[in-house]
Amino acid sequence: MSLPDFTATGDLPVGVHTASLAETVSRFGTGSHRRKLLAIRLERIYQIAAQTGYLARFVVFGSFITEKYEPNDVDVFMIMDDNFDMGSLVGEAQLLFYHGTAQDYFGCSVFWIRRLAAIGGEEATIEDWQLKRDGTERGIVEITVG
């Protein structure tokens, strides 16, 4: 499935748009040195999360998936399986699941919960990330896991 064109405000149309990691990087990881750098970070973050074996859902939102020439960072929300245990992580994976540490180390805002914590269900929880700080909505990208 291809990602839609931007709206007049420079965002994706409201909705959860599904894409592969490769398609997401191809669409949003070009145009400026900053975008290329952020795309590399996104690939690394996805790889680390997937290697835990507990990644259920992976969503990208924020300025990286807009038409902004110089996005601030990459914003990610993940849903992990209920039996995900942070205490068993080693190396970079230990850093990824602490928001402040992930921001400093990876240059990425990382938010995550376990499936059980998705109040109202996973779909509703993911859809909530469409809400911007100003109260308007924008589209987000869910990267296919697997």
Q: Say if residue 117's pLDDT is above 70.
A: yes
Q: Say if residue 140's pLDDT is above 80.
A: yes
Q: What is the pLDDT of residue 2?
A: 83
Q: What is the pLDDT of residue 81?
A: 97
- The whole-angstrom separation of Cα 77 and Cα 129 is 8
Packed helices 99-106 and 33-51: angle between N→C axes, nearest 10 degrees:
130
pLDDT tens-digit map of 12-48 = 999 999 999 999 999 999 999 999 999 999 999 999 9
* Summary mean pLDDT of the chain: 95
pLDDT-derived band at 145 (thresholds 50, 70, 90) equals confident
pLDDT-derived band at 1 (thresholds 50, 70, 90) equals low
Percent residues over pLDDT 90 in the chain: 95
**For range 105-126, the mean pLDDT:** 95
H/E stretch holding 27 reads helix 21-28
Domains of the chain (ranges, CATH numbers): 15-143 (3.30.460)
